[in-house]
């Protein structure tokens, strides 16, 4: 009996993760069926329908999962680099010879089937990142090693951006969470977030306001890095009081001589100089960090216009401006998101029922079976249904993180966290864009959106992690 159990392909496999995967795939297929089914269709089982095509891909994906469970885990480590270079080659081939779909030249077309190489490039990149970072001599604190990881991530990212598929490329930025988990210094993570915040704020705030804000941030950072907590509180209170008093005095003595922006600018500049002098005496390293942050910010800000107007495409610019509320185009760039929110809101608590979604049925929501599949869940299954789907996805991500933590080898741990980061990013962006909390990027909801490439790629991505975890669990079970 023990021998039979050992020979089973499910020996050591986390069945809870497999069950979550199956439930999410079934929920996705039902949503695709509801989104693409047309009333009055005589042949329900015709393979011309999206839901029947997806059913074929579900079968292929499940067969692929079984094959992965039968493979030796050493193959994943052994072929990580070859898979990475093959992935790069496919991305370049798609850029040069691929078919353009929705403005992105990122597809291969074989008859009636299309394949998107970027979905499989994510797998190859995750394997390569795990291989690089699991090397015996690797240390994330060494600039050379960090540069290697950065190149492994940035090369496919650059090619994907050239394909005009920025949404898929941005997914690779989720590996920053993996680097942080592996010990990346927080001071190297903060500038990335700071740059993103500056890029967004440059559209929302006037140049003078942004300058005041940057100086104030630098001043506060110096105050928080130096001295005890009491001195920090005293400094912040004194800064606020000085700003208010200076503005009131100037308003009474010389009305109109200095507005609030110039007043704040003067006060923050003086306070920054004061804190810099103090920091120089207390800790020279901190003043270099703060002043470097300020100088880099001043250099970066003028480039935002060039990035926005010269690098981003028109539809990408419109999506960003619409998301920030700078422009409003209900019948154009805002149409998808507006109809999506209407569909989700009309579902109420329990939804309208399977195949009963009017917004979905009558085609008011474009891409309702692909990028906006979550709208179908919201309208037909309601708030309860969306919470069930999101719970299943979150549990799957948490189980992947748990898999990573119980890995005995760095390769398995890093790869599991790469998969968790990719899935988390996809879920956050896809669900966020359907409810208007994120700009539209055109990335699928894992295991639920229509498409053979994405379903098979996500299945491979997940079941490599499941196989690595099964190997660890088999070793633990065999000890007893």
Q: How far is CA 477 from the centre of its chain?
A: 36
Tens digit of each residue's pLDDT (9 = 90 or more) over 105-127 = 888 887 777 888 999 999 999 99
- Please write the tens of the pLDDT for every residue from 46-76: 777 888 889 999 999 999 999 999 998 899 9
* pLDDT(391) > 90: yes
Question: Where do the H-state alpha helices sit in 226-283?
Answer: 229-253, 260-282
| Cβ 119 vs Cβ 454: under 8 Å | yes
pLDDT tens digits along 185-226 = 766 666 666 666 766 666 666 665 666 666 666 555 555 555
For residue 480, the model assigns a pLDDT of 36
**Portion of the chain with pLDDT greater than 70, in percent:** 67
Q: Give the pLDDT score at 476.
A: 56
What tens digit of pLDDT does each residue of 459-477 get? 999 999 999 999 887 765 4
- Sequence-distant (6+) residues with CB within 8 A of 440 are 319, 323, 336, 337, 371, 433
Q: What does the pLDDT look like over 245-263, one tens digit per residue?
A: 655 665 565 555 555 556 6
pLDDT higher at 240 or 435: 435
C-alpha count within 13 angstroms, C-beta hemisphere, residue 130: 30
Q: What pLDDT shows up at residue 339?
A: 85
Q: In sequence order, what are the beta bridge partners of 114?
A: 109
Q: What's the DSSP call for residue 449?
A: S
Q: Average pLDDT of the chain?
A: 79
Q: Above pLDDT 90, what percent of the chain?
A: 30
pLDDT at 426: 93
152 vs 203, higher pLDDT: 152
More confident residue, 253 or 363: 363
φ, ψ at 338 (rounded to 5°): -60, -45
Nearest 5°: the CA angle 128, 415, 108 is: 55
Higher-confidence residue of 287 and 100: namely: 100
- Top mean-pLDDT range of 105-109, 132-136, 319-323: 132-136
Task: Give all strands of the β-sheet with 104-110 in edge-to-edge order.
Answer: 99-101, 104-110, 113-115
Q: Tell me how many degrees the CA angle 140-166-192 measures, rounded to the nearest 5.
A: 35
Backbone angles phi, psi at 110, to 5 degrees: -125, 95
Q: How far is CA 56 from CA 51, 315, 370, 371, 455, in A?
A: 9, 33, 16, 20, 11
pLDDT, residue 68, reads: 93
320 pLDDT tier (thresholds 50, 70, 90)? confident
pLDDT tens for residues 254-298? 555 555 556 655 655 555 555 555 555 555 555 555 556 666 666
- For residue 91, the model assigns a pLDDT of 92
Output the pLDDT for position 368: 76
Token digits of residue 477: 């079970």
By three-state DSSP, how is residue 217 classified?
A: helix
Angstrom distance (rounded) from CA 347 to CA 377: 9
Tens of pLDDT, residues 24-49: 999 999 999 888 877 766 677 777 78
Predicted local distance difference test score (pLDDT) of residue 404: 92
pLDDT above 70 (res 21) = yes
- Label residue 100 by pLDDT band (50, 70, 90): confident
Q: What is the pTM of this model?
A: 0.81
With beta carbons less than 8 A apart as the criterion, state whether 9 and 70 touch.
yes
* Of 4-13, 188-197, 250-259, 326-335, the least confident: 250-259
The predicted structure's pLDDT at residue 238: 57
pLDDT of residue 134 exceeding 60: yes
How large is the average pLDDT for residues 145-174?
Answer: 88
Give SS3 for 135: coil
Question: How many angstroms separate the first and last alpha carbons of the chain?
Answer: 15
Q: How far apart are CA 224 and CA 203, in angstroms?
A: 28
Q: Give the length of the chain.
A: 480
| DSSP 8-state code for residue 73 | T
CA distances 146 to 138, 150, 179, Å, are 9, 6, 9
pLDDT reported for residue 479: 41
Q: Is the pLDDT of residue 392 over 90?
A: yes
């Amino acid at each position: 009996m023990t021998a039979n159990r050992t020979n089973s392909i499910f020996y050591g496999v986390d069945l809870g993760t497999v069950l979550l995967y199956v439930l999410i795939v079934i929920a996705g297929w039902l949503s695709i069926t509801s989104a693409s089914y047309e009333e009055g269709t005589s042949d329900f089982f015709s393979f011309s329908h999206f839901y029947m095509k997806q059913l074929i891909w579900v079968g292929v994906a499940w067969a692929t999962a079984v094959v992965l469970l039968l493979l030796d885990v050493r193959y994943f480590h052994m072929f990580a680099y070859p898979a990475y270079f093959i992935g790069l080659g496919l991305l370049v081939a798609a850029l040069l010879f691929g078919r353009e779909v929705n403005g992105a030249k990122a597809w291969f077309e074989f008859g009636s089937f299309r394949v998107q190489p970027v979905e499989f490039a994510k797998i190859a990149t995750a394997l390569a990142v795990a291989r690089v970072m699991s090397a015996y001599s690797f240390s994330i604190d060494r600039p050379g090693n960090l540069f290697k990881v950065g190149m492994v991530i940035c090369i496919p990212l650059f090619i994907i951006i050239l394909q005009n598929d920025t949404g898929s490329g941005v997914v690779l930025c989720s590996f920053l969470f993996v680097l942080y988990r592996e010990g990346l210094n927080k001071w190297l993570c903060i500038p990335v977030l700071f740059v993103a915040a500056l890029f967004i704020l440059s559209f929302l705030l006037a140049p003078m306001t942004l300058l005041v804000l940057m100086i104030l941030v630098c001043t506060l950072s110096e105050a928080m890095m130096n001295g005890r907590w009491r001195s920090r509180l005293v400094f912040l209170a004194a800064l606020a009081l000085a700003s208010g008093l200076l503005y009131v005095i100037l308003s009474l003595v010389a009305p109109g001589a200095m507005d609030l922006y110039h007043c704040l600018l003067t006060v923050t500049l003086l306070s920054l100089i004061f804190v810099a002098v103090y920091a120089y005496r207390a800790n020279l390293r901190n003043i270099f960090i703060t002043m470097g942050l300020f100088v880099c910010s001043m250099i970066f800000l003028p480039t935002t216009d060039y990035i926005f107007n010269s690098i981003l495409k028109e539809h990408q610019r419109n999506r960003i401006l619409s998301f920030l509320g700078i422009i409003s185009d209900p019948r154009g760039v805002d149409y998808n998101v507006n109809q999506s929110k209407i569909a989700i809101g009309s579902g109420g608590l329990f939804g309208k029922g399977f195949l009963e979604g009017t917004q979905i049925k009558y085609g008011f929501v474009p891409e309702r079976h692909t990028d906006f599949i979550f709208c179908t869940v919201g309208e037909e299954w309601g708030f309860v249904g969306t919470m069930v789907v999101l719970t299943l996805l979150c549990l799957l991500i948490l189980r992947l993180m748990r898999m990573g933590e119980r890995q005995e080898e760095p390769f398995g741990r890093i790869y599991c966290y790469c998969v968790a980061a990719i899935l988390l990013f996809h879920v956050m962006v896809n669900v966020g864009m359907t409810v208007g909390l994120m700009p539209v990027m055109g990335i699928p909801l894992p295991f639920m959106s229509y498409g053979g490439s994405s379903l098979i790629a996500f299945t491979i991505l997940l079941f490599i992690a499941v196989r690595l975890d099964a190997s660890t669990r088999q070793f633990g079970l065999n000890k007893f």
